[in-house]
Amino acid sequence: MPLLGAHQSIAGGLHLAFDRISQVGGESLQIFTANQRQWRAAPLRSDDVRLFQERWRQSGGMPVASHASYLINLATQEPEKTAKAVAAFAEELERCGQLGISLVVIHPGSHGGAGIEVGLTGVARNLDLALERSGALDSSLRVLLETTAGQGTSLGSRFEELGWLLEHSRYPGHLGVCVDTCHIFAAGYDFRTSAGYEQTLTQLERHIGCDRVHFFHLNDSKKGCGSLVDRHEHIGEGQIGLEGFRLLLNDHRFRHHPMTLETDKGADLAEDVENLHRLRELMA
């Protein structure tokens, strides 16, 4: 069965994310390793790393992914912004290396009007630079390019674009894909029926390869299929509905994959508990 979980806050300390995921009965976890609204993060202290790794072991060693800051745009064509983005992503990879996190999710970025081909070329080049500068090439760390909804000039809403990046990096063994259900639906992939789901997976296999998908974000969508609008909704309460999630959760190709929620929640995390309950009811 897939390993269901949620993105959790690191407020009060990185290690407390494990208390929160345990509270909701999660089997996988996604976090930010630092404040995702700031470019620079304070260096990790040895106690931070020790506590995080201790709690991780106590949790049973569940899959953990980091989500890179939304500020990072590896597709930008402006030299100063490019240097800033590469440095910030290299630092993120270094932090993950210290913590022992081997999965790092990032949005491919926005070409800002320069065009898809120019933007993708920049992403491939800057991904490679960040991997080289971080020391990640000597580890098992894998960068997961996230599918996007296609808003504005963002890249990654088409499987072809992510497949191109996987092919044009010098380090394909350190790359993979994270599929966000809300994003692919908003981008026009309608997987709400058996026929639609198989068509979507046929495209995914053709342009990326199911074996290159290592992580999922499970989010319903406030907006309709092809809207190109990224607005997450609770499971079964949006435009995707329950059947699309049922088809994914029972797909043998992804039966051991970590899948995390990225839906809104209150301090008591009750929404995570409810969403996970709904998802588990869909599994055969």
Tell me: pLDDT of 81 over 90.
yes
Catalytic residue, candidates 7, 20, 95, 107: 107
Nearest to 235 by CA among 178, 268, 187, 283: 283
Pairwise CA distance, residues 89 & 5, whole Å: 25
Residue 232, pLDDT score: 98
In this prediction, residue 221 has a pLDDT band, given cuts at 50, 70 and 90, of very high
For 181, how many CA atoms within 13 A lie in the half-sphere containing its CB?
32
Looking up tokens 């380090």 gives 171
Tell me: pLDDT of 282 over 90.
yes
**262 is annotated as an active-site residue:** yes
Catalytic residue, candidates 7, 111, 174, 183: 183
Tell me: pLDDT of 284 over 90.
no
Average pLDDT value for residue range 194-200: 98
Name the amino acid, one letter, at 74. Answer: L
Pairwise CA distance, residues 157 & 168, whole Å: 17
Instruction: Decide: 68 and 92 in contact? Cβ < 8 Å.
Output: yes
Catalytic residue, candidates 146, 161, 190, 272: 146
Report pLDDT digits (tens) over 2-12: 999 999 999 99
Grouping H, G, I as helix, E, B as strand and the rest as coil, residue 161 is helix
| DSSP designation for 170 | S
Residue 144, pLDDT score: 98
Catalytic residue, candidates 37, 45, 80, 252: 37
Considering the four listed CATH numbers 1.20.1250.20, 3.20.20.150, 3.20.20.70, 3.30.200.20, the one that applies to the domain covering 3-282 is: 3.20.20.150
Report pLDDT digits (tens) over 14-71: 999 999 999 999 999 999 999 888 888 889 999 999 999 999 999 999 999 999 999 9
**168 is annotated as an active-site residue:** no
**272 is annotated as an active-site residue:** no
Q: What does the domain layout of the chain look like in residue ranges?
A: 3-282
Token pair recorded at residue 198 = 């198989």
Pairwise CA distance, residues 227 & 209, whole Å: 25
Residue 39, pLDDT score: 83
Report pLDDT digits (tens) over 127-152: 999 999 999 999 999 999 999 999 99
Residue 96 CB partners (closer than 8 Å, separation 6+): 33, 66, 102, 104, 136, 141
Grouping H, G, I as helix, E, B as strand and the rest as coil, residue 31 is strand
**37 is annotated as an active-site residue:** yes
Tell me: pLDDT of 160 over 90.
yes
Average pLDDT value for residue range 225-252: 98
Catalytic residue, candidates 40, 47, 50, 70: 70
Average pLDDT value for residue range 215-227: 98
Token pair recorded at residue 205 = 């296999």
Percent of the chain with pLDDT over 90: 96
- Average pLDDT along the chain: 97
Name the amino acid, one letter, at 101. Answer: I
Token pair recorded at residue 117 = 């081909």
Catalytic residue, candidates 132, 205, 237, 262: 262
Strands 220-221 and 232-233: antiparallel
**146 is annotated as an active-site residue:** yes
Pairwise CA distance, residues 275 & 261, whole Å: 8
The distance in angstroms from the start CA to the end CA of the chain is 9
Beta bridge partners of 176: 144
- Per-position b or e across 40-75, b if 16+ CB within 10 A of its CB: ebeebeeebbebbeebbeebeebbbbbbbbeebbbb
Question: At 132, which helix (H) or strand (E)?
Answer: helix 116-134
Tell me: pLDDT of 251 over 90.
yes
Pairwise CA distance, residues 41 & 31, whole Å: 15
**230 is annotated as an active-site residue:** yes
**54 is annotated as an active-site residue:** no
**160 is annotated as an active-site residue:** no
Percent of the chain with pLDDT over 70: 100
Token pair recorded at residue 76 = 């930008």
Catalytic residue, candidates 7, 217, 234, 257: 217
Tell me: pLDDT of 234 over 90.
yes
